[in-house]
Amino acid sequence: MHPLNIVATAALGISLAGSALGAVAIRPATAVAYRQGLYRAILWNFVPMSEMVRGRLAWNHQGFAQRAGNVAFYSTQLLEGFTPGSITARSEAKPEIWRNWADFSAKMKNFEDASAKLAEISRNGNESATKQAFRQVAMTCKACHDHYRRN
């Protein structure tokens, strides 16, 4: 394929995936790679926050707030990556996600809301309030993983 055609195809895929017409054929492997990329980016930011909360890394209020903002931003982009039935050998997603979509998306919303709250609270710089809000976010991670992630 001509390189410009590849660019055009990619642009079309992105614009349609972002629209309400989610029926466009996105390969499962593409969706899995997209959401795993986001989860890795979230983890990249989450681990240093976790280390600060546990006192294993020096408390850095600005660094924490920056990472919390990153997680809040990424969190809002996860759900669209769960295109219907997109499971591959690499995926840790369980089919229960699509059988319980209302519950899954509500749990995802809890993660988004808790992350937004953490980003806001951490900007204010109160260490104990930030730690408390971080634990709330971690619980929303776990709530989903317990039901909808393999392993």
Binding site for ligand ASC (CB under 6 A): 43, 46, 50, 138, 141-142, 145
Q: Judge whether 83 and 28 are in contact, CB under 8 Å.
A: yes
Minimal distance, residue 64 CB to ligand ASC, in Å? 15
Alpha helices (runs of H) in the chain, residue ranges in sequence order:
3-17, 28-53, 61-75, 96-99, 101-124, 127-148
The answer to whether 34 and 81 have CB atoms below 8 angstroms apart is yes
C-beta of residue 97 within 8 angstroms of C-beta of residue 104: yes
CB of 20 to ligand ASC, least distance (A): 30
Nearer Cβ to ligand ASC (26/130): 130
Q: Which of 34, 134 has the CB closer to ligand ASC?
A: 134
**Least distance between ligand ASC and beta carbon 8 (Å):** 37
Give 26 or 53: the residue with its C-beta nearer to ligand ASC.
53
Residue that the structure tokens 């209020």 belong to: 61
- Of the CA atoms within 13 Å of residue 84, those in its CB half-sphere come to 5
C-alpha 8, offset from chain centre = 27
Give the nearest distance from C-beta 145 to ligand ASC in angstroms. Answer: 6
Q: How far is the CB of 40 from ligand ASC (least distance, A)?
A: 10
Based on CB atoms, which residue is closest to ligand ASC, 17 or 79? 79
Nearer to ligand ASC, 3 or 55 (CB): 55
